[in-house]
Amino acid sequence: MRTAPWILATATLLTTALIAPSAAAQDAATDAIQVDGDTRTLAPGVELESFDRWEDQGWLRADAVTVDLTADVRPEYLSPGSVSDASTVREQTEGHEDVVLAVNADFFDINDTGGPQGAAIEGGELVKSADTGTSHAVAFDADGRGSIRSIGFTGTATTASGTLDLHGLNTTAIPADGIGAYTPAWGADSRARVAEGAAELLEVTIVDGIVTAVDDTPDEGAIPEGAIALVGREAGASALAALAVGDTVQVEYAPVVDGAVPDLAVSGRQVLIEDGETVPHEDQSRHPRTAVGFSEDGRTMYLVTFDGRQAASGGYTLDEVAAELRAMGAHSALNLDGGGSSTMLARSSGTDELITVNSPSDGNEREVGNGLALTVPAGDGEAAGFAVEPLAPFAPGSIDPHDYGRVFPGLSRPLSATPYDASFAPAEATPYWRTGSIRSGHVDGDAVFHAGHRSGTVTVTAASGRASGSTEMTVLGPLAEIEPSQRLLSLPDGDATAAFQLIGSDADGFTAPVDPADIELEYDPDVIAVEADGRGGFTVSAATDSGSTVVDLTVDGHSTTLAVTIGLTEQPVADFSDAEQWTFTAARA
Report d(CA 98, CA 423) in Å as an integer: 10
Report d(CA 235, CA 201) in Å as an integer: 9
Report d(CA 264, CA 257) in Å as an integer: 13
Report d(CA 189, CA 174) in Å as an integer: 15
Asked whether 458 and 481 are in contact (CB, 8 A), the reply is: no
Q: Which residues contact 325 (CB under 8 A, 6 or more apart)?
A: 272, 273, 291, 293, 302, 304, 333
How much is the pTM? 0.84
CA atoms within 13 A on the CB side of 556: 18
Question: Which residue type occupies 492?
Answer: P
Asked whether 409 and 451 are in contact (CB, 8 A), the reply is: yes
User: Which numeric CATH code is attached to 385-475?
Assistant: 2.60.40.1080
Sign of the Cα pseudo-torsion (42, 46, 47, 50, in order): negative
Report d(CA 420, CA 405) in Å as an integer: 22
Beta bridge mates, 89:
none
Asked whether 318 and 78 are in contact (CB, 8 A), the reply is: no
Asked whether 346 and 101 are in contact (CB, 8 A), the reply is: yes
Report pLDDT for 506.
97
Report d(CA 329, CA 314) in Å as an integer: 24
- How far does Cα 400 stand from its chain's mean position? 16
Q: Where are the domains of the chain?
A: 2-118+268-375, 150-256, 385-475, 479-586
Report pLDDT for 31.
66
Report d(CA 469, CA 280) in Å as an integer: 44
Q: What is the chain's percent helix, strand, coil content, to nearest 5? A: 10, 45, 45
CATH topology of domain 150-256: Jelly Rolls (2.60.120)
Tens digit of pLDDT per residue, the chain (589 long)?
Answer: 333 332 233 233 222 233 333 444 444 555 677 777 788 999 999 999 999 999 988 999 999 999 999 999 999 999 999 999 999 999 999 999 999 999 999 999 988 888 999 999 999 999 999 999 999 999 999 999 999 999 999 999 999 999 999 999 999 999 999 999 999 999 999 999 999 899 999 999 999 999 999 999 887 889 999 999 999 999 999 999 999 999 999 999 999 999 999 999 999 999 999 999 999 999 999 999 999 999 999 999 999 999 999 998 999 999 999 999 999 999 999 999 999 999 999 999 999 999 999 999 999 999 999 999 999 999 999 999 999 999 877 544 333 445 899 999 999 999 999 999 999 999 999 999 999 888 999 999 999 999 999 999 999 999 999 999 999 999 999 999 999 999 999 999 999 999 999 999 999 999 999 999 999 999 999 999 999 998 889 999 999 999 999 999 999 999 999 999 999 754 443 343 444 444 333 332 2
In the chain, what's the furthest Cα-to-Cα distance? 94
Report d(CA 517, CA 143) in Å as an integer: 53
Q: At 36, which helix (H) or strand (E)?
A: strand 33-43
Report pLDDT for 586.
33
Q: Which ranges in 329-379 belong to alpha helices (H)? A: none
Report pLDDT for 28.
53
Same fold, 385-475 and 479-586: yes
CATH topology of domain 479-586: Immunoglobulin-like (2.60.40)
Report pLDDT for 352.
92
Report pLDDT for 237.
97
Report pLDDT for 30.
54
Q: At 373, which helix (H) or strand (E)?
A: strand 371-375
Distances (CA, A) of 80 to 175, 182, 290, 557: 25, 17, 19, 56
- How far does Cα 427 stand from its chain's mean position? 25
